Chain A
Amino acid sequence: MNKEASDWSKYWGQASALGIGGATVPASFYTSQEQFDAEREKIFRKVWLMAGREAEVPEPGSFVRIPIPPLDTEAVIVRGKDGTVRAFYNACPHRGVALVRECHGKTGLFVCPYHAWSFATDGKLMGLPGAEDFPHVDKATTGLTPIHLDIWNGFYFLNFGEQPEQTLLEFLGEFATSFGDMPFENYPHVIEIAQDIEANWKTLTDASNEGYHVNALHKESLGAMMTTRENPLNNFYDPIFSGPHVSSTTQANPDWRPDAPVVLFAYAAAAYKVQPGLAKQEDHTHGQATFAEHPMVNRVGLPAFSVETTQIFPFSVLQMLTNRYIWFQYWPAGPNRTRAATRLYGPAAPANYRQAFAEAHMIAYSRDIMTEDTIVTQMQQAGLNSGGVKDVVLGEHEYMLRYTHEAVLGFTEG
């Protein structure tokens, strides 16, 4: 190892030096119904859940309906006439009908199809046919049941507690401020890769939060792009922590030069640069700030930066790349089941056919990498379910996983 490399390696961080335990975790952490039930009640019904972008409901009356798999419920997110974004259970207070059926839309009034009770965009009951038959219903106090919603840096979070135990800013801790001006709004163009995965949600956050697997599982797709002689196991750099959340930096291989003809064509054709490892001055897009300039991204100044990986507890992983970001949502749907939504955010939609091709290529490439992860997590789940492994073993540089596991156990056993 040369001197320069050893200089960077000092930023790797190690679980034991960071005071993070969890070198082993029981297989039941990923398999048992009891653990899942505890997570549902003590985490997913308690903490703020990072669920979407405010831009999904751009105008008064805009709404989206989103499933909340761990709680077997649905939320309707709607921007009211007053411009305020609110969330409601998708359930009519009359007979309980999940009244909103569209995935998205724009309306001034939600009307239940069963008996035509109607609700304003702030949830208030506006009308019920034959109101005289319901003298016991007070229109002023009857409406859709609200879900706590708050917004941070363009992301809306939901909280299903009766009364949240923390404000959203308290929940995010220092990251609320230090990541508070991360320029997500400069990346409004989004495509989602949606998959139902037969694996526990934590196998997926695990796969997002270490580099150890990159040069094995992703050998053909990412290995050469990411891996260097000095860091053959793709250790992450410079972990920082905020409450249950954690962030860490990944390098690219500065010597990697793509040579596959279609990759080169797609890179040249893209509406914005997508390859990792670019020097900062090459990366300006539309004259807007990129992630690469943000002080919380690549804090140690790796010369070939690839990704800042930020786990927002419990199930969101943000990957800030130089010039775009990826948001992994791993919604638990059962001990062995995850609804995964991988959102690719870029600065601009394609404006011509070659840019549309470049986007299709980037989607296929991203989906295939994600498939490598999702398939192996399903293989992992099968092995864990087999009873053949008592404990999962984690390495010193897998500290992001271990930190997250400790946070989970802090809730479920606390």
Chain B
Amino acid sequence: MTEPTALLPKGFDELAPFIAEWGSLETQDERYIRRQSLSMERLQAYYDAVQPRLGAIFDHLDSFPYGPALPEPEALLFRVVLAMSEVAQAVEVYGQPTVPHAPANHSVTIRVPNRA
């Protein structure tokens, strides 16, 4: 787990409280499983903090070339903001962390075909 003290780029400090939950996750499936493990209150807190900043966050990230060489503070910011792809499903679509009737810790592999 990335330490909560890991540095975000300047100006994005309000995302710091969510580094512990989201900052070290690398795959969509890891984010999906984390979403299922968090309370609705915690998901809503993330949503409320990050949603108004989406434009500013991506204006900043897109000032860097797209690719693997993102500086670590920006890479951390990107990992944290990618959580919104999962959190928004819980907050905007279902009003609960999980897809209705899905089993606990439901895991779904996302990949390029034939590249397991």
A residues within 8 Å of B by Cβ? 52, 56, 64-66, 103-104, 190-195, 220-221, 260-263, 265-266, 269, 341, 343, 350-354, 356-357, 360-361, 363-365, 367-368, 371-372, 375-376, 379
Contacts of A269 in B (CB 8 A): 58
**Minimal beta-carbon separation of B9 from chain A (angstroms):** 13
| Chain A facing B: main interface SS | helix
Contacts of A195 in B (CB 8 A): 108-109
Contacts A191-B110, A192-B110, A194-B108 given: A354-B62 contact, CB under 8 Å?
yes
B112 beta carbon closer than 8 Å to chain A: yes
B99 beta carbon closer than 8 Å to chain A: yes
Complex Cα–Cα for A278 and B24 (A): 38
**Minimal beta-carbon separation of B70 from chain A (angstroms):** 8
Complex Cα–Cα for A175 and B114 (A): 27
B10 beta carbon closer than 8 Å to chain A: no
Partner of A193, one of B55, B85, B95, B108: B108
CB pair A262–B88 under 8 Å, yes or no, is yes
By size class, the interface of chain B is 35 or more
Complex Cα–Cα for A205 and B32 (A): 25
Q: Assuming A194-B109, A262-B92, A371-B99, what are 12 further A-B pairs, CB within 8 angstroms?
A: A52-B114, A56-B114, A104-B114, A260-B88, A263-B88, A269-B58, A352-B66, A353-B64, A361-B84, A364-B85, A367-B28, A379-B101
Q: How many residue pairs between the two chains, A and B, have CB atoms under 8 Å in the bound complex?
A: 118
B104 beta carbon closer than 8 Å to chain A: no
Contacts of B51 in A (CB 8 A): 261-262
Partner of B89, one of A56, A191, A365: A365
Contacts of A194 in B (CB 8 A): 108-111
**Minimal beta-carbon separation of B104 from chain A (angstroms):** 12
CB pair A372–B99 under 8 Å, yes or no, is yes
User: Across the two chains, which residue of chain B brings its CB closest to A77?
Assistant: B114
Complex Cα–Cα for A191 and B110 (A): 7
CB pair B55–A265 under 8 Å, yes or no, is yes
B102 beta carbon closer than 8 Å to chain A: yes
B residues within 8 Å of A by Cβ? 28, 31-32, 47, 51, 54-55, 58, 61-62, 64, 66, 78, 81-82, 84-86, 88-89, 91-95, 99-103, 106, 108-116
Complex Cα–Cα for A192 and B29 (A): 12
Complex Cα–Cα for A67 and B61 (A): 39
Closest 3 CB pairs of A and B: A262-B88, A360-B85, A353-B61
29 interchain pairs, CB-CB under 8 A = A56-B113, A56-B114, A64-B114, A103-B115, A190-B112, A191-B110, A192-B112, A192-B113, A193-B110, A220-B94, A221-B94, A262-B51, A262-B54, A353-B66, A354-B58, A357-B81, A360-B82, A363-B28, A363-B85, A364-B31, A365-B89, A367-B32, A368-B89, A368-B99, A371-B102, A372-B99, A375-B100, A375-B102, A375-B103
Please indicate which of the listed interface residues B54, B82, B85 has the most CB atoms of chain A within 10 Å of its own CB.
B85
Complex Cα–Cα for A367 and B111 (A): 12
**Minimal beta-carbon separation of A155 from chain B (angstroms):** 13
Complex Cα–Cα for A371 and B64 (A): 35
Please indicate which of the listed interface residues A260, A364, A368 has the most CB atoms of chain B within 10 Å of its own CB.
A364
CB pair A263–B112 under 8 Å, yes or no, is no
CB pair A357–B82 under 8 Å, yes or no, is yes
User: Across the two chains, which residue of chain A brings its CB closest to B95?
Assistant: A220
Partner of B108, one of A221, A261, A367: A367
CB pair B101–A361 under 8 Å, yes or no, is no
Contacts A263-B92, A354-B58 given: A191-B66 contact, CB under 8 Å?
no
Contacts of B111 in A (CB 8 A): 191-192, 194
Complex Cα–Cα for A66 and B47 (A): 40
CB pair A352–B108 under 8 Å, yes or no, is no
CB pair A356–B32 under 8 Å, yes or no, is no
Complex Cα–Cα for A261 and B92 (A): 8
User: Across the two chains, which residue of chain B brings its CB closest to A350?
Assistant: B66
Partner of A361, one of B61, B62, B88, B106: B88
Contacts A194-B108, A260-B92, A357-B58 given: A375-B84 contact, CB under 8 Å?
no
Contacts of B103 in A (CB 8 A): 375
Complex Cα–Cα for A328 and B8 (A): 40
Contacts of B89 in A (CB 8 A): 364-365, 368
CB pair B62–A375 under 8 Å, yes or no, is no
Contacts A220-B93, A375-B102 given: A343-B113 contact, CB under 8 Å?
yes
**Minimal beta-carbon separation of A340 from chain B (angstroms):** 10
Complex Cα–Cα for A104 and B115 (A): 6
CB pair B28–A356 under 8 Å, yes or no, is no
**Minimal beta-carbon separation of A221 from chain B (angstroms):** 6
**Minimal beta-carbon separation of B27 from chain A (angstroms):** 10
**Minimal beta-carbon separation of B30 from chain A (angstroms):** 12
Contacts A262-B54, A371-B106 given: A52-B113 contact, CB under 8 Å?
yes
